[in-house]
Amino acid sequence: MSVPPSLRRWLLAAPVALLAFPACQPHGKSDAATPDLLQANLDTTVRPGDDFFQYANGGWLKKHPIPASESAWGIGKEVQNEVYARLRAINAEAAKANAAAGTNQQKIGDFYATGLDSATVEKQGIAPLKPELNRIAALQSVADVQAEIARLIPLGVNALIGPYVAQDAKNSEKMALQLWQAGLGLPNRDYYFNKDARTANIRREYGRHVARMFALLGQDSVAAKASSARVVALETALAKSSRKLEALRDPYANYNKMAVRDLGKLTPGLNWQPWLAQLELGKADTVIVGQPEFYREAGRQLQTAPLDTWKAYLQWHLVHTYADKLSRAFDQENFRFYGTILQGRKEQRARWKRVLDEEENAMGEMLGQLFVKEYFKPEAKQRYDKLVDNVVVSFRQHINQLDWMSDSTKQKALVKLGKITKKVGYPDKWKDYSALTIDRSSYAQNVMRARQWAYRYNLSKLGKPVDRTEWDMTPQTYNAYYNPSNNEIVLPAAIFAIPGLADKDADDATIYGYAGASTIGHELTHGFDDEGSQYDEKGNLRNWWTKADRPLFNKRVDQIVRQFNGYQVLDSLHINGKATAGENIADLGGIVIALDAFKQTEQYKKGEKIGGLTPTQRYFLGYALGWQNHQRDEVLAQRILTDVHSPANLRVNGPFADVPEFYQAFGVKPGDKLYRADSARVKIW
């Protein structure tokens, strides 16, 4: 499911997966005959004080190499694999059911059937895109270009501008029109300018890839190269005016509210009113522009770039968006660049899995309703509801005990904490897909209609009361998020799944580390990280700190920025400490807060070993289990440039190096690679 840019940066960013675990029962000790999961994962050739991530997960990683069809592999993928078979069976049954038109079963069955019908996809070739390609070829003016952009954006095409409707950051009760930087074919601006050999090669290959796509559209080699050069030149100009990853994390700098009628001052010569009307946004009177400098450049390019450049640009972005829904030649070339060159994957994933992934994007809550009935029983929801409550109690104690925060700010922080809404498992009400038409005419057209439905669903919120019951993830998603505008944590059912371990067999130490720290405590802390802390208890962007306390907080943020700036991966690439600050703060906060919650449990107080491990050791290993993941160098390099999350190993080793109980539990001492002197350890929450 698409998540607005204003929300993406608060995501946990665990690998997306689908739900599959047994009905949860009251928890207890594992059966003596069952090998202990945490013990089985260990790599005892590594000292925990040197590389705890490898110590905790190395045994598992050695037994689970990355499949050729994947760019990464880990616990989320294992959860996903467990459910794919069930999804496949449900979809196959729906495809054969001859269900009544308009029912969920008919839509699921027809979507799956067209996706798997590769013979028809091959026969249709580029035909599903032909009407739009013809319109692009017929463009004769700037107004025509704007009109075509207005047609393509609802189809999910990343065509120059990024309009969406979301809560006003300074008035969380109002849904507002927003404009965000967009329009690039490479992952972000840095790919157009970084001079290292890896990125320079990607740039060269990108130009070749775009040319090959134009050749598949029927252009000869000379024309295809010329079209590619036009696209790359235009995107480079747009990238130059796009903000860097870390700059997108400043909520005040990315909040520029103005009257719609004043957009013309930002882009002289462009008429926004008819453009917004074509985008079905004509009733908007105000707009929040994230990056004004990007829109100045976009407006300038619309006025000055040759019409042939705009035709090439729009053709490219249309075919790029739907390449994997078209005939084999388009699909393979798309995978060659985006799958192999960018992510290091050796082969395509099975088609049925890719179709199920697309179905999740198209109508995920339709599938979610089926899953929660069978795989997330009320007992499980009760356990994790209670776990959230326990972690909140611990967070409250942490705030009260802070020695750097004044009582005035503490009281406001406690009010905000008390107002955080918890959403656990699944929504109380489901999205209504009755207006979505799915049939067996064309896989690409089904995807188009699904994206148009999602676009209009989002736009329909403009001018309406905020629906605070809505979820931006499906229950079968292995992820979680904090939404600052709603002041809520959202914890889909799948995030609590542990492959190979039934909930009834999972001890509290494992669960408090795995779910309490890496998910619940993490998301709660996002409300108080360097960004989330700028929003009040009602979800409004407003300073609630005293003048003295905010600099003290920022000083601690600077410490964690410096710590992560010092981590080097892949030759010369370093972690971007400023871009990843929020996630690193949330990781550290989640660990220390959930640890103190765990200390209140019977297991911790008894202190008995399981699998030769103390309760505290199992807690830290449970947290590391949540980041049990390895990835190819290509995708790691991409994430360093584009992701606000640190790599999995540093989401374990980084924050653990700041936690005194970690040193005590595993005997970490000076000389160990993870050792940091007391004065260098970061303590925020």
Same domain, 47 and 9: yes
Asked if residue 508 has pLDDT above 90, the reply is yes
Same domain, 421 and 281: no
Same domain, 316 and 371: no
In this predicted model, what pLDDT tens digit does every residue of 361-381 receive, in sequence order?
999 999 888 778 777 878 888
Closest CA to 114 of 392, 386, 457, 351: 351
Q: How confident is the model at residue 34 (pLDDT cuts 50, 70, 90)?
A: low
In this predicted model, what pLDDT tens digit does every residue of 520-533 receive, in sequence order?
999 999 999 999 99
Same domain, 476 and 564: yes
Same domain, 502 and 604: yes
Asked if residue 411 has pLDDT above 60, the reply is yes
- The answer to whether residue 23 sits within a structural domain is yes
- The answer to whether residue 481 sits within a structural domain is yes
Same domain, 174 and 234: yes
Residue whose structure tokens are 């993870």: 674
Q: How far is the C-alpha of 597 from the C-alpha of 143, rounded, in Å?
A: 60
Q: How far is the C-alpha of 632 from the C-alpha of 73, rounded, in Å?
A: 9
Asked if residue 478 has pLDDT above 60, the reply is yes
Q: How far is the C-alpha of 263 from the C-alpha of 648, rounded, in Å?
A: 42
Q: How confident is the model at residue 12 (pLDDT cuts 50, 70, 90)?
A: very low
- The last residue of one of the domains, among 275, 307, 325, is 325
Low-confidence winner among 146-150, 216-220, 374-378 (lowest mean pLDDT): 374-378
CATH number reported for the structural domain that contains residue 166 in this entry: 1.10.1380.10
Asked if residue 31 has pLDDT above 50, the reply is no
In this predicted model, what pLDDT tens digit does every residue of 536-566 receive, in sequence order?
999 999 999 999 999 999 999 999 999 999 9
CATH number reported for the structural domain that contains residue 617 in this entry: 3.40.390.10
In degrees and rounded to multiples of 5, residue 287 shows phi and psi of -145, 145
> Between β-strands 256-259 and 421-425, what pairing exists: parallel, antiparallel or unpaired?
unpaired
- pLDDT at position 572 is 83
Residues 6+ apart with CB under 8 A from 631: 66, 71, 72, 73, 639, 647, 648
Strand order in the sheet with 488-492: 421-425, 488-492, 481-483
Asked if residue 16 has pLDDT above 90, the reply is no
Q: How far is the C-alpha of 407 from the C-alpha of 541, rounded, in Å?
A: 22
Residues 6+ apart with CB under 8 A from 567: 574, 575, 646, 650, 654
- The last residue of one of the domains, among 305, 325, 345, is 325
- The answer to whether residue 137 sits within a structural domain is no
In degrees and rounded to multiples of 5, residue 482 shows phi and psi of -110, 130
Closest CA to 627 of 646, 651, 643: 651
Low-confidence winner among 129-133, 180-184, 498-502, 579-583 (lowest mean pLDDT): 498-502
Asked if residue 503 has pLDDT above 90, the reply is no
Asked if residue 11 has pLDDT above 70, the reply is no
Contact present, 105 and 94 (Cβ < 8 Å): yes
pLDDT exceeding 70 applies to what percent of the chain?
A: 95
Higher-pLDDT residue of 322 and 374 is 322
Region 101-129 average pLDDT: 97
- The answer to whether residue 529 sits within a structural domain is yes
Same domain, 187 and 273: yes
- pLDDT at position 89 is 86
Tokens of 520: 């619940």
- The answer to whether residue 231 sits within a structural domain is yes
Asked if residue 53 has pLDDT above 50, the reply is yes
Asked if residue 56 has pLDDT above 70, the reply is yes
- pLDDT at position 416 is 98
Residues 6+ apart with CB under 8 A from 335: 324, 345, 348
pTM (2 decimals)?
0.94
Task: Provide the residue range defining the domain that includes 670.
Answer: 5-86+354-427+471-680
Region 395-420 average pLDDT: 98
Asked if residue 22 has pLDDT above 50, the reply is no
Same domain, 503 and 632: yes
**HSE (side-chain half, CA atoms, 13 Å) at 384:** 32
Same domain, 183 and 312: yes
- pLDDT at position 37 is 95
Same domain, 161 and 31: no
CB neighbours of residue 426 within 10 Å: 22
Tally the domains of the chain: 2
| Size of the chain, expressed as the number of residues it contains | 685
- pLDDT at position 8 is 40
CB neighbours of residue 107 within 10 Å: 25
- The answer to whether residue 72 sits within a structural domain is yes
- pLDDT at position 241 is 98
> What does the mean pLDDT of the chain come to?
93
Same domain, 363 and 316: no
- The answer to whether residue 579 sits within a structural domain is yes
- pLDDT at position 373 is 77
Instruction: Tell me the DSSP string of 34-86.
Output: SPPHHHHH--TTS-TTT-HHHHHHHHHHHHSPPPTT-SEEEHHHHHHHHHHHH
- pLDDT at position 81 is 84
Same domain, 420 and 494: yes
Low-confidence winner among 5-9, 80-84, 199-203, 445-449 (lowest mean pLDDT): 5-9
In degrees and rounded to multiples of 5, residue 179 shows phi and psi of -125, 125
Asked if residue 64 has pLDDT above 70, the reply is yes
Q: How far is the C-alpha of 468 from the C-alpha of 175, rounded, in Å?
A: 11
CA angle 553-555-560, nearest 5°?
Answer: 100
Q: How confident is the model at residue 50 (pLDDT cuts 50, 70, 90)?
A: very high
Asked if residue 5 has pLDDT above 90, the reply is no
- The answer to whether residue 119 sits within a structural domain is no
Asked if residue 4 has pLDDT above 80, the reply is no
662, containing H or E segment:
helix 660-666
Q: How confident is the model at residue 441 (pLDDT cuts 50, 70, 90)?
A: very high
